[in-house]
């Protein structure tokens, strides 16, 4: 006979936070869909969604996002091409254990994706063995196309600067790309890596975040968030490596047009032809 006075097994706060996040991160289903969203967006939006989003869940997601975030047709096309529906909320991160609240962690999970399509990058320029040079080339490509990068990166990002200098005890540090996100009310430091993820990258990024929180963050802002943008990663290993850090960080990958399957590449306009038209 079971002991009725036995104390139930305790569940850690972090585990509860993760369970709450999993419950919250879902897309609207038909029975909970706000049909005012449907009539808010234009006919051309619906054509884009119906022809490019294959599942009902994905279509409802893009309708809702288009209506509530006031996407125009071209913004919608970019997010459809980047497959936002499947990449949102899957970023390997430690947000639930490092952010002030579960609500803030949920916002961060929804802001960042696990993969970004940077179709303005010429990956042939990154074939050199010099990683530092590769990262400078990658950074220059992003800065030269900063409007397109912000559109790809997500909503409410403001570009602060590249090679952002922070000095600590006479030592200089330079953050590759620094943004501010209005929704999260946080600085966002992006470190660019032209190679596969390495655990040592997290230590570097964590130090940058400490410096930003101490010397750059305003009193009314939330702690800075770090995003590592790598060429490739083993997601299970990243989740293991990142879990014990006390600064909010996530790891994402990027791909360029050349990395895409030939079927998808053929659907995109030729870059040289596009240049001539512009």
Give domain limits for the chain: 13-87, 95-264
As a whole number of angstroms, the distance between CA 146 and CA 273 comes to 22
Does residue 1 have a pLDDT over 50? Answer: no
Q: Given this model, what pLDDT does residue 245 score?
A: 96
**Which of 65-79, 154-168, 176-190, 258-272 is least confident?**
258-272
Q: Given this model, what pLDDT does residue 55 score?
A: 84
CB atoms within 10 A of CB 243: 13
Does residue 158 have a pLDDT over 60? Answer: yes
Confidence of residue 127 (pLDDT cuts 50, 70, 90): low
**Which of 1-15, 31-45, 206-220 is least confident?**
1-15
Nearest to 160 by CA among 82, 217, 230, 95: 217
Nearest to 160 by CA among 145, 144, 143: 143
Residues 190-202 have a mean pLDDT of 93
Residues 49, 52, 55, CA angle at the centre, nearest 5°?
A: 80
Q: Given this model, what pLDDT does residue 13 score?
A: 53
Q: Given this model, what pLDDT does residue 278 score?
A: 34
For residues 201 and 176, is the Cβ–Cβ distance under 8 A? no
Does residue 11 have a pLDDT over 60? Answer: no
Q: What is the mean pLDDT of the chain?
A: 79
Q: Given this model, what pLDDT does residue 64 score?
A: 80
Q: Under CATH, which number does the domain 95-264 receive?
A: 3.40.1350.10
Nearest to 139 by CA among 112, 167, 118, 165: 118
**Which of 45-54, 60-69, 118-127 is least confident?**
118-127
For residues 151 and 72, is the Cβ–Cβ distance under 8 A? no
Bridge partners of 162, per DSSP, are: 177
15-49 b/e (C-beta count within 10 Å ≥ 16 → b): eebbeebeeeeebeeeeebeeebeeebeeebeebb
As a whole number of angstroms, the distance between CA 180 and CA 91 comes to 19
Does residue 216 have a pLDDT over 50? Answer: yes
**Comparison of pLDDT for 222 and 272, the residue scoring more:** 222
As a whole number of angstroms, the distance between CA 58 and CA 53 comes to 6
């Amino acid at each position: 006979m079971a002991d009725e006075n036995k104390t139930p097994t305790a569940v850690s706060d972090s585990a509860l936070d993760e369970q709450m996040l999993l419950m919250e991160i879902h897309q609207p289903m038909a029975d909970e869909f706000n049909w005012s969203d449907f009539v808010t967006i234009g006919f051309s939006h619906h054509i884009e969604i119906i022809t490019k989003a294959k599942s009902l869940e994905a279509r409802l997601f893009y309708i809702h996002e288009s209506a509530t975030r006031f996407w125009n047709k071209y913004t919608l096309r970019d997010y459809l091409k980047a497959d936002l529906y499947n990449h949102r909320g899957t970023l390997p991160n430690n947000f639930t254990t490092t952010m002030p609240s579960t609500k803030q962690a949920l916002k961060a999970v929804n802001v960042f994706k696990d993969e970004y399509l940077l179709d303005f990058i010429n990956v042939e320029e990154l074939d050199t063995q010099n990683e530092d040079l590769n990262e400078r080339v990658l950074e220059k490509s992003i800065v030269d196309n900063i409007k397109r990068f912000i559109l790809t990166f997500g909503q409410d990002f403001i570009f602060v600067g590249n090679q952002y200098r922070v000095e600590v005890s006479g030592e200089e540090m330079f953050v590759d790309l620094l943004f501010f996100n209005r929704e999260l009310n946080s600085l966002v430091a992006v470190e660019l890596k032209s190679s596969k993820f390495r655990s040592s990258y997290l230590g570097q990024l964590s130090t940058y975040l400490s410096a930003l929180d101490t010397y750059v963050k305003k009193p009314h802002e939330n702690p800075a968030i770090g995003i590592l943008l790598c060429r490739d990663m083993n997601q299970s290993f990243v989740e293991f490596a990142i879990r014990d850090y006390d600064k909010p960080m996530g790891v994402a990958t990027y791909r360029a047009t050349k990395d895409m399957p030939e079927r998808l590449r053929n659907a995109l306009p030729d870059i040289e032809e596009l240049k001539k038209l512009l």
